Structures are given as structure tokens and as C-alpha cells.
Amino acid sequence: MSIKSICIYGAGALGGAIAVKLASQAGNDATISVVARGAHLDAIRDNGLSLREANAEKPLNVRLIATDDPKTLPPQDLVITGLKGHQLAPAAEGITSLLKEGTRVVMILNGIPWWYFHRDTQSRHAELQFDELDPGGRLWRLIGPERVIGCVAYQGAEVINPGEIQLANNGRFVLGEPSGEISPDLEAIAAVLTDAGLNITTTPVIRDEIWSKLMGNTAFNPISALTRALMTDIMADPALSTTVGKVMNEVRAVGEALGARFSMTVEQRLEQSRHIGAVRTSMLQDLIGGKALEITPLVGMVVALGRLSAVPTPVSETILALVTQLDRENQRGS
């Protein structure tokens, strides 16, 4: 796979960080472009896109092609989406306009992705589709799950001002084919991103990585939004940390029922969470910004897949009801 053109579709916190790393790489002859919107796009056009990495003395700043209309860009060798799960379906046609034969699409997503059951050998549900994740099957039909490279990001990031991104840590990204193959495309994409200075690993079991991260996301994201609490505040509160543990146990039970394997126990994950620091989750960031919350992939699908697998999820169901109402009120007031 020859990668000479890369478009980051959704150059927010994570997508924008990757764009800066790619565009600032010495010797990278690939054309880097971004699709963004609003004040963030205006700032990128006027002043470039800036990234302040964890512990860096000064930010990286790059100039790159930036647009809110993907149809003005030529077809790409590689598309990397930085959109949240609920933002993907409305962007399906725009993403499709960037595709040609052989284009791969790296989708950085939290939670259960729309392509989850494509070529899935871990469960008994291969090729199952969920309308909640992909209304009308638009993503499946227009982009196609066969183009997708799954990506699980362990990277705290935030847009602190239009055109300015701050990284909270030196994170990592895990890439994998839905089929479990370590394909030539996967290796080529991993090499390009590694050369840009990103911490990249590949895996034949990307679904295990999805569930491992989801164990934290399903607990911390909605609880932080409901309480406005930072990660440190949640873990310091005995009642909240106990609730986090209950949610993690439910997520683990659902994941295991679908064939996922977890490398950590719930107790180990809770202990790890105590050392993350005063981080604002992505859902809390969206709540404060008046944006729609990423509920279905993170919480709704745990409940839905629990029902599919006959695994009870009472705590997650309660949190789902509460955060759904919070999102309604937040959108009504924004």
C-alpha cells in the first residue's frame, strides 16, 4: 500500500493531534489535509494547527490543507476519522467522496463501532448490524466495513482554543483489522503513523482492545458528565468509585459473553484509574461545550449487547437513562 495522501476527517482533539504529527514529520512526502468546521477551521486556515504535547516546552504548529467540504479534496490513499460515533452517519457521504479503490479508513472510536461484527469470529453474530450505530446502514453501504482499520486510542487530548490542541499524556494507539489479519495495509499504515512519532501497536484481536477500553469509558464518561467531576474526584469518592466498579463488572460480563478476553481484572483497572490524574473525560468536555453526548456507543450498546447475550446490566441501564435525559436537557439549553 502506497500512502501519498492522507485526510483526517474530523480534526478535533485526537484527529487534529495526528494531523499535526503527520504534517510536521521531516521527510514525509504525503499530502496531509483535514476536514474541520466552524471557528476551529477558521483558526487553522488563519494561523495553522497547533499541538502542545505533554511536557513540551513549545507547541508544534503546521500549515495544511483545511476545508469543511471534503468534496473539494481529491480521493485519498488513507482517511483517518476523528469523529465520535454519533457523528459518523451524517458524515458518510463526505467520507465516501474521499474514497477510491484501495483506500483504507482508520476509525478512531470509543465504544462499540458500527463495523463491530464484520468478520467477527469471537461471537456467534458475524455481520450483525445495529441501526442505533448506523442508521439505515449508511456507513455499511457507502463506506463498507471491509475498508475499515479499527483504532483504539489511549490518548488524553482537548481542543483548548480554536486551532490549538493540548495532549494530557504521551499516549498510544492500537490498530487492528476486523478480520484479525496482520495485513500488508495494516503494517503500512502502522509504519506511516509510527514514523510520525505516534506510539502505534497492531493486534489480531482489536475487539479485545475495544472492550478493555470500554470498561473504563462506560463507567467514567457518563458518571463524569452527570457529576461534572474529574477522574481524580470520581475515584476519591467511595460511592462513585463503587459505582464505577459495578459498571466495569457489567461491561466485562457482556464482553466475555461475546468472546472478548480481558487482560486486567476489574480491581486492577480500578487501581490503574486512580493514577490517571485530574482528567476531564471527552463526554464532560462535550457537555461543557454544549455538544451532543456520545451515549449509544459507550453505554447504550453495553445495554443492547447485554440483552442480546442475556447478561443483566442494571447499573448501566440506570446510568443510560440518566445521561440520556441529561443530554436532552443540555441540547435544549444550548
Single-letter code of the amino acid located at 50 = S
Question: What's the distance, Cα to Cα, between the start and end of the chain in Å?
Answer: 44
Hey, what's the cell of 25?
514529520
Catalytic, 84? Answer no
Q: Are 81 and 9 in contact (CB under 8 A)?
A: yes
Residue 9 three-state SS: strand
Hey, what's the cell of 202?
497492531
Q: Which helix (H) or strand (E) holds 139?
A: helix 138-142
Cα(82)–Cα(8) distance, integer angstroms:
7
Active-site residue (options: 71, 100, 213, 291): 213
CB-count exposure of residue 239 (10 Å: 0-12, 13-18, 19+):
exposed
Single-letter code of the amino acid located at 116 = Y
Hey, what's the cell of 282?
471527552
Instruction: For the beta carbon of residue 79, count every other beta carbon within 10 angstroms.
Output: 26
Question: Shortest CA distance to 23 belongs to which of 43, 55, 49?
Answer: 49
Question: Shortest CA distance to 258 belongs to which of 222, 210, 300?
Answer: 210
Query: Between the CA of residue 238 and those of 241, 275, 315, 317, what are the distances in Å?
Result: 5, 16, 16, 21
The residues near 70 (Cβ < 8 Å, ≥ 6 apart) are 7, 9, 35, 94, 95, 97, 98
Q: Per 3-state DSSP, what percentage of the chain is helix, strand, and coil (rounded to 5)?
A: 45, 15, 40
Q: Are 67 and 184 in contact (CB under 8 A)?
A: no
Q: Which residues are catalytic?
A: 213
